[in-house]
Structure 1
């Protein structure tokens, strides 16, 4: 498992924002396909779980971005 994480770290280091954007679009499309496959009467729980994961991951990502923006403005 450590080797897999090391490969993932190297992949990210060798990638630019365009590569990471493609990964995000790929994962989003998989999520859409899974969402469309769920029967209408059972969509509430997956929707709530997806919303929770979104909030829990979005906040730290945006905090990191804001921190970088502030640092760059201070350096300028």
Structure 2
């Protein structure tokens, strides 16, 4: 398992935002296909789980992204002076 994580880390290091966007679209499409296979009367629980996973993952991702933006803005302000 450690080897798999090592490969994944190397993949991310060698990727740009376009590659990672493709991974996201692929995962999203997979999720949609799985969601379409769930019977209508049983969709409530998977929807709640997906919503919880989205919330739990989105907040840290956006927090890190905003920290990077703020850091870049501070560095740009310092360079202009």
The alignment covers a number of residue pairs equal to: 76
Tell me if 1:73 matches 2:73.
yes
Comparing both chains, which one has the higher relative contact order based on Cα–Cα distances under 8 Å and sequence gaps of 6 or more?
1
| TM-score of the superposed pair, with normalisation by structure 1 | 0.99
Structure possessing the higher radius of gyration over alpha carbons:
2
Q: Any stretches of 5+ residues in structure 1 without a counterpart?
A: none
CA distance in 2, matches of 1:51, 1:57: 10
What displacement does 1:30 show?
Answer: 0.3
Match of 2:79 in 1: none
- Greater than 2 Å deviation, 4+ residue runs: none
Q: Any stretches of 5+ residues in structure 2 without a counterpart?
A: 77-81
CA distance in 2, matches of 1:69, 1:17: 15
What displacement does 1:43 show?
Answer: 0.1
| TM-score of the superposed pair, with normalisation by structure 2 | 0.93
